[in-house]
């Protein structure tokens, strides 16, 4: 992988599960609509300062997008409302059952309404997650990105592609449920396991074949493909658990997409159920108590600081990042302060000795994050968001 890549890469909402192989076809996990009516959602729009930084310094853009995505988690003990835009009762029931596989280990509740038809999005257009069974592609926004206001309420935030599957046998249904488990994992805020900083999957891929097979301009660029495969060096969440080849969030790619074929360590058959680490991870991200969630967030901030520090942001860039983080902080509904410390790279003095200013004025008064405390060092060596 060339370091000079021009990338809009990061932990963005859509997923490219290029792996769920059905008889006679590969089920692309998400970015193309293949001529159908449904396309994938756009990247998170960044403010001008960060967008310019991303264009000029792709590695810094990767880190920023990664950190923003890593904190896009639902509040613990949330009741998430899920509605369906379409689909028959059989697929809806499979989806409901798959969601329960995740939530039994998490401090989250998902409300679907009453079966067998369950809640329609026409009844609840402001649902937390909107599900469709259209087209051939499967994808999901990640975590609270499902509440993005730039996506019309008539469009899904999670899609399970079922077109052209024909009659599904028992094995096919298991693979379909696997796809549902994977996408629900994204909707709950989880990332791709093969992109764990502890894996070497990025180095094992045959990139010329990856690009040749999946890049389809103008919608599917090299950057969109990369963001689903490149190691997530900026992912605090992934660093907190060991690399797990059995994870439902791991791609199962064809052997020819690896340099060493089926001998590659990251070549795995399609995982059909939650792994032991998947269950541990969702419990870590959504623990039973606020104290446990606060501890998780503090560790995540420490890891995020280390991820962002190698490509320092200017004061203006950091202020823009602060604006994005305050919005995410508001959605977390936590009281713990998120203290990003870059002083070990910038050679700054102790944060208490560095002049700072209140950055709350960069937050729109109409934003859900309005009123969130925000403090930034004048030398861009630290940023503190939230807390008392």
Predicted TM-score (pTM) of the model is: 0.80
The reply to whether 260 and 349 lie within a common domain is no
Task: Give how far Cα 45 sits from Cα of 116, 152, 156, 167, Å.
Answer: 37, 15, 18, 40
Q: Of 284, 301, 323, which closes a domain?
A: 284
Per the domain annotation, does 378 fall within a domain? Answer: yes
- Contact at 8 Å (CB) between 27 and 179? yes
Q: Of 264, 284, 304, which closes a domain?
A: 284
Could you tell me the mean pLDDT of each successive run of 10 residues in the chain, 388 residues long? Answer: 28 30 27 35 69 80 80 93 94 96 96 95 95 87 87 91 72 88 91 61 81 76 66 52 75 81 80 89 92 92 85 84 88 90 60 59 50 82 84
The reply to whether 361 and 275 lie within a common domain is no
The reply to whether 230 and 267 lie within a common domain is yes
- Contact at 8 Å (CB) between 192 and 228? yes
The reply to whether 164 and 92 lie within a common domain is yes
Domain count along the chain: 2
The reply to whether 271 and 334 lie within a common domain is no
The H or E element containing residue 25 is strand 25-27
- Contact at 8 Å (CB) between 163 and 36? yes
- CATH code for position 139: 3.40.390.10
Helix locations, 71-221, DSSP H? 89-103, 170-187, 201-204, 207-214
Angle between helices 315-332 and 58-70 (to 10 degrees): 20
The reply to whether 328 and 227 lie within a common domain is no
The reply to whether 124 and 173 lie within a common domain is yes
What is the SS3 string spanning 330-348?
Answer: HHHCCCCCEEEECHHHHCC
- Pick the closest to residue 129 from 65, 41, 193, 69 (CA basis): 41
Distance in angstroms (rounded) separating the CA atoms of residues 112 and 358: 42
CA 219 to chain centroid, in Å, comes to: 19
The reply to whether 119 and 213 lie within a common domain is yes
The reply to whether 334 and 271 lie within a common domain is no
The reply to whether 81 and 37 lie within a common domain is yes
The pLDDT of residue 369: 53
Per the domain annotation, does 85 fall within a domain? Answer: yes
- Pick the closest to residue 311 from 24, 71, 37, 56 (CA basis): 56
Task: Print the domain residue range for 349.
Answer: 312-385
Per the domain annotation, does 7 fall within a domain? Answer: no
Per the domain annotation, does 292 fall within a domain? Answer: no
- Contact at 8 Å (CB) between 98 and 180? yes
The reply to whether 230 and 326 lie within a common domain is no
Residue 196 has, within 13 A of its CA and on its CB side, a CA count of 20
The reply to whether 262 and 345 lie within a common domain is no
Per the domain annotation, does 299 fall within a domain? Answer: no
């Amino acid at each position: 992988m060339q370091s000079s890549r021009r990338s809009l890469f990061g932990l963005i909402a859509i997923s490219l599960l290029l792996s769920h192989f059905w008889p006679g076809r590969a089920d692309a996990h998400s970015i193309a609509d293949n001529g159908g009516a449904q396309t994938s959602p756009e990247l998170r729009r960044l403010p001008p300062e960060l967008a310019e930084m991303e264009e000029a310094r792709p590695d810094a853009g990767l880190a920023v997008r990664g950190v923003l995505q890593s904190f896009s988690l639902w509040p613990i003990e949330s009741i998430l409302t899920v509605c369906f835009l379409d689909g028959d009762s059989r697929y809806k029931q499979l989806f409901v059952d798959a969601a329960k596989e995740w939530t039994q280990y998490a401090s989250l509740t998902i409300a679907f309404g009453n079966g067998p038809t369950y809640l329609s999005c026409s009844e609840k257009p402001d649902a937390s997650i909107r599900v469709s069974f259209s087209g051939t592609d499967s994808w999901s926004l990640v975590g609270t990105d499902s509440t993005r206001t730039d996506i019309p309420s008539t469009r899904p935030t999670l899609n399970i592609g079922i077109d052209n599957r024909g009659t599904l046998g028992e094995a096919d249904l298991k693979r379909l449920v696997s796809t549902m488990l994977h996408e629900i994992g994204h909707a709950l805020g989880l990332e791709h396991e093969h992109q764990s900083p502890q894996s070497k999957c990025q180095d094992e891929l045959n990139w010329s074949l990856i690009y040749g097979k999946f890049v389809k301009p103008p919608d599917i660029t090299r950057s969109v493909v990369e963001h689903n495969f490149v190691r997530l060096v900026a992912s605090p969440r992934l660093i907190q658990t060991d690399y797990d080849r059995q994870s439902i969030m791991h791609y199962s790619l064809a052997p020819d997409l690896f340099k060493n074929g089926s001998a590659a360590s990251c070549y795995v058959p399609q995982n059909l159920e939650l792994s032991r680490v998947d269950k541990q991870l969702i419990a870590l991200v959504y623990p039973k108590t606020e104290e446990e969630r606060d501890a998780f967030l503090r560790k995540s901030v420490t890891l995020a600081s280390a991820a962002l520090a190698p490509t320092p942001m200017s004061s203006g860039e950091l202020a823009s990042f602060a604006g994005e983080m305050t919005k995410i902080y508001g959605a977390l509904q936590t009281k713990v302060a998120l203290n990003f410390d870059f002083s070990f790279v910038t050679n700054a003095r102790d944060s208490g000795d560095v002049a700072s200013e209140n950055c709350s004025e960069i937050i729109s008064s109409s934003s859900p994050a309005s009123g969130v405390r925000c403090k930034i060092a004048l030398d861009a060596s630290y940023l503190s968001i939230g807390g008392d």
